[in-house]
Structure 1
Amino acid sequence: MPEKVSIVHCPDDDPISLTGAVAHALALLGSPLSRIRPRDRVLIKPNITAQDISWRQGVVTNPYLIRALIELIREQNPGEILVAEAIPFGLDVKKAFSFLGYDAIARETGVRLVDLYDEAFVHLPVRDGKVHRSMEISRPVLEADYLIVVPVLKTHVATEISVCMKCLMGILSVEQKRKFHFSGLCQSIMELNSEVQPDLLVADGTVAGEGNGPMDNEPVGLGKVMAGTNSRAVDLVAARLMGYEPEKIDLFCMCTEQWGPLPETEIQILGESIEKAVKPFKRPVTGVAPREGATQMNGNACKTCAGVIELALRRAEAMGLLDQLTPLRISYGPEASRPPMDGNNLIVGKCLSHFKETGYFVPGCPPQVFLITDGLAEMAGHERKFGSGEGYMFSDTEFLSDSG
């Protein structure tokens, strides 16, 4: 049978209309919430990647959508409803819950808000992994009877798009998130999704995010909600809706190689057609711009790595750091030549770990924007904002042979 994905037009902040739109999106799928039994524990995992950015920026899940979903779940008389998230390192999900209005929703509906970092994580073996032997996954997520993931449709400099499959990283421990960024992000996301399959995906396109996501997005008033029961299928349709060609996105190419093809002809789109709903999004940056006082040693770098570096340099410029590091030499890409030992050398990416003694080394595949910015701050003699970078360094022996 074909996978089903629904697309429904909806407003962004009218609770009654939003509830109707979500109900319609689910009805088109055959009412998947009807599988919730009395006494079931239902866990809703939104996409909260910031503690003080409005959902109207297209960065975090619209709380009105979560409220609508809660009301529909309550009709099934579950035992408990949890709204749970493990926010990126250095941020506080409790502050995010308060800022976004989730606290008020919890008081009004009786759901329980959960900071997954306050709960236990367990090691889940990875079957047929190429990188990971096991992963630290949130125990409440694994113990939930019904798991719903509610991502935002947005672009992402490291993965091109961020919808259902990427959103699942919010169930990982801090250590595991670091390992994902160290060992190969897209491959790691694919392996996570092979082991944890949500029961329902409701993708928030009320206000989506384009451009340099996941944090520097520009909002897009898309006015859509999508739903499905297969993360890969929803993401493929979302990519088309955002104007991408899925076959050119690395994550989907890896899925095809390791899981086999999922032809779009085998995905049944219900509600609005792609042709009617499509709205091409601005893409993230994919290259490093020339800068006075900064020499680039680009060794055929991946476009995502180059994009991450560019965003980090923009942040560093805004902080006045680059003027303090002139001249700066930036090495990135697996074919980069060995840099001289003199001057301010920034060595970026796991593929150049063999040059790490020649300068300041930032690991990752691709590395994280804030790690590069923090590294530049440290090179300029300032304190790091997010603590030591040592926690992002791992031995290859911690991974399977194909991790690098």
Structure 2
Amino acid sequence: MDQTTLLNGLADFIASSPTPFHAVDTMARRLRAEGYQALAEGERWQLQAGGRYYVVRNGASLIAFKYGKDLDKGIQMVGAHTDSPCLKVKPNPVVNSQGYLQLGVEVYGGVLLAPWFDRDLSLAGRVSYLTKKGERAKALVNFSRAIAFIPSLAIHLDREVNKNRTINPQTDIPPVLAQLPGPDAGADFGQILADQLAAEGVTDVASVLDYELCFYDTQRPAVLGLNNEFFVGARLDNLASCYAGLEALLAAPEGQSQLLICNDHEEVGSSSCCGAAGPMLRQFLERLVPDVERRNQIIHHSLLVSADNAHGIHPNYADKHEQNHGPLLNKGPVIKINANQRYATTGETSAYFRHLCQQLNVPVQAFVVRTDMACGSTIGPITSAEIGVSTIDVGLPTWGMHSIRETAGTADLGYLIAILQKHFAEPA
């Protein structure tokens, strides 16, 4: 697949995936179209060699599995995460401030708050409701169009804003949605959601019970630069890796057993029933191979590539990088290394990945955080500790991680997909 097609595909995937629920729904539809069979966790499974399967937990995490000819040779795995830092709507969110309708929000994950101001925002997520028959149901909702924004305070009212700006997440960021008739007017947010669901074809809503909603930027991803070398968009961390993993899985040849896992809640520590620190992958493997001895042998022959974006060296802040480990955009995927196991890479798994890159003539880079700075982490060490699988942490070099709009290199996506596809095809 050529670079333009891959980038257009990533842009479409990001645009259709404003929340983890939408990302998993998009991936599941793609898997079904490619012949993958949905598994229900509450039913008995009968998995067979040659089969293609996927399972979803909480609507926001997904495992896709291709059952190879000889499971005992191990399972080649790729892991990523579906969530991104964002602003999530509070349970009782409606605020009338000076006659303007605002919604109270919580900060989800390590959000870079400043870029959220003066953006065209929409709202999406999952709504749980009571049907007209009195049954509980749920549906995805996406307002799609810009319905909100967070206006900046004029510099005339804060002359020091460019010298020492601070943002209070409680008082400074509630988005504005509308102008109300007066300072005492209210708004029925449940009815607003019911009306939007009806507009999207869900017409059996009697009342809204609850919701999980987040704001997002409506601006579509774009290719920028004089030579089209930059890809800019929301949620590259980590939808770019989900997309790369899915494309690699679907393109990988038959033979080797292959597994893609995309977990929710990485940005807040992964501790949930569907996060990497939860039992989702372990329980899948237990149902796949009930015999403990055989399962442990298979895991021993398996290898996980944990794909999550890496910090590319910023030309305006080069001193924030370790001198010999500043990854450049468009110079290949990055192997992430940390002596304190914030990344799961070992010398052996790094050598394996470098060898794949050599075979495909793909450039590869390395990242180590400055010794005097704290290091982030990924699902890699968590998953490795949970199931005991050998793991390497890699990612696309990126600028502006956790901003509302992040930047990657247009060449790097193709590099990563090629490497993951080869990883899926070969035993470790």
Give your verdict on TM over 0.5. Answer: no
Greater relative CO (CA pairs within 8 A, separation 6+): 2
What's the TM-score once normalised by structure 2's chain length? Answer: 0.22
Flag the structure with higher strand content.
2
* Higher CA-based Rg: 2
Higher normalized helix content (fraction of residues):
1
